[in-house]
Structure 1
Amino acid sequence: SLRTAIEKARAANMPKDTMEKAIKKGAGELEGQSFSEALYEGYAPGGVALLIRCLTDNKNRTAQEIRHTLSKYGGSMAESGAVSWMFERKGIITVAKEQISDLEEFQLLAIEAGAEDIKDEADPIEIVTSPDSVSDVKAALEENGYSLSYDMSYIPSNTLKVEGSDAGKLFKLLDILEDNDDVQEIYENSDIDEAEMEALAEQMD
């Protein structure tokens, strides 16, 4: 995905103290600070829809920063509900392929527990569930000895083809948003050609 490409391009350049701070913040371990979650909606260049999940100790400050970044890099803030309807809230469970000796048996186990979709092309395998079923699927897999990671995500109902200068602007905007300490996750509905995505990621190195 576009976000994965950006993360890979950035990973080697993240200072250790920045990474540790991000981990502590996510776990609510920064002393003297109380954080709450906020979800901001917006548009990126090319009309791409954005959902930006933040963890902040000051929602007004974070909203202003997100609005400023979007405006500066060719996007715009949207009203609540303007973008979120384009996404579905889903549970995402990932399991490393090396744990799976019988893929068909694994798939059957997940489906019987409530999985909606299983994406097994990449490693780790990704299991998509409804928000209500994620706990059941997680429990079924763990009871059968699988180690896993899970999170809640927003999956776009439809994607939007983006190319050329709009793709470059989108990549830049997402990179800048990722620089904001308050930003935890960015969900977007772009469809960018893989070769173009790789070229954009290389430009960041």
Structure 2
Amino acid sequence: MSGHSKWATTKHRKAAVDAKRSALFSKLTRVITVAAKTGGDPNPENNAALAAAVAKAKSYSLPKDKIEAAIAKAFGAGADANAFEEVVYEGYGPAGVALYVEALTDNRNRTAADVRAAFTRAGGNLGATGSVAFQFERKGEITVDATGAPGEDELMLLVADAGGDDLEQIDEGFVVYTAPADVMAVKAALEDSGVPVKGAELVMEPMTPVEVSVEDARKVLRLVDRLEELDDIQTVYHTMELTEEIAAALEE
């Protein structure tokens, strides 16, 4: 089990702010529709990708009727799930920070142009496929609410028994890491043990976060914000380590 990560703490604090964006719900419903269509089954119990998409949507409080409508859209008349494809963009931002950008798009040319423009304005460079992916590792991530959660030692034992790989404490509670294929099984086991799970999703974690100055951190996060504001972009991951000093400066 690893120690506490300031990077994870700030990342999740930022995620809470991002959840307020008006475009978030439309992005979440698009992911659900595509996952349902791709998996070929509207039942999350039989469709792992859909189960993860629904769990993530619920963690951001996407209403149940919107979730159901997004699933129905995948199998209804005139469904447009097939129009969207998953695309990954990789590149380097200010201070050489690597960025891994996940998108769902119905127009590759438009999305690529928008992403390239964002990198260029930030003084970065959009790279070729595989240029930064090796710096990240795919993991399952489960968030646990501090309210009602057991202590760290007890939770650590429950995580190990459930088949989880790692545990990390953040401001709002804990983050449990799993192998990608195990995330939903571990989530269910923790819930069965009475652990207050807030959500679960698949993420890309940086294997070796890099330290940057406060000024460069601001530049990198401006680039992240520009990318996340694009309709087609789902998630942006970076290798920047947000130290306690940087987190405090960014909150001023």
How much does 1:101 deviate? Answer: 3.6
User: Does 1:166 find its partner at 2:216?
Assistant: yes
- Residue in 2 aligned with 1:150? 200
2:90 matched residue in structure 1 = 41
In structure 2, list runs of 5 or more residues that go unmatched: 1-6, 34-69
CA displacement at 1:194 relative to structure 2: 3.0
Partner SS state of residue 180, structure 1: coil
Change (3 A) 1:165 1:131: same
1:6–1:171 contact (8 Å) kept in structure 2: no
CA distances 1:105-150 after superposition (whole Å, capped 9, x unpaired): 3221211222111012432310011113223312211222334210
Does the CA contact (< 8 Å) of 1:118 and 1:125 recur in 2?
yes
In structure 1, the residue matched to 2:225 is 175
Using the TM superposition, name which of 154-163 and 20-29 deviates more: 20-29
State how many pairs are aligned: 199
1:198–1:134 Cα change, 3 Å: same
CA distance in 2, matches of 1:178, 1:194: 24
Q: Secondary structure at the match of 2:143?
A: strand
Consecutive aligned runs of 4 or more in structure 1 exceeding 6 Å deviation: none
Unaligned 5+ runs, structure 1: none
Secondary structure of the 1:155 match is: strand
Which structure has the higher relative contact order (CA within 8 Å, separation 6+)?
A: 1
TM-score by length of 2: 0.69
Greater helix percent: which structure? 2
- Contact 1:163/1:192 (8 A) holds in 2: no
Match for residue 24 of structure 1 among 20, 26, 29: 29
* 2:127 paired residue number: 78
Matched letter for residue 131 of structure 1: P
Deviation sequence 1:3-46 (CA, Å, 0-9, x none): 5565566666x4x5x44433433433488643222211111110
Q: Is the 8 A contact 2:159 2:166 kept in 1?
A: no
Deviation at 1:157?
0.8
The residue type paired with residue 42 of structure 1 is G
- Contact 1:171–1:200, Cα closer than 8 Å, also in 2: no
Q: Structure 2 matches for 1:80-95, cutoff 5 A?
A: 80-95=129-144
Task: Give the CA RMSD over aligned residues.
Answer: 2.5
Instruction: Give % identity.
Output: 33
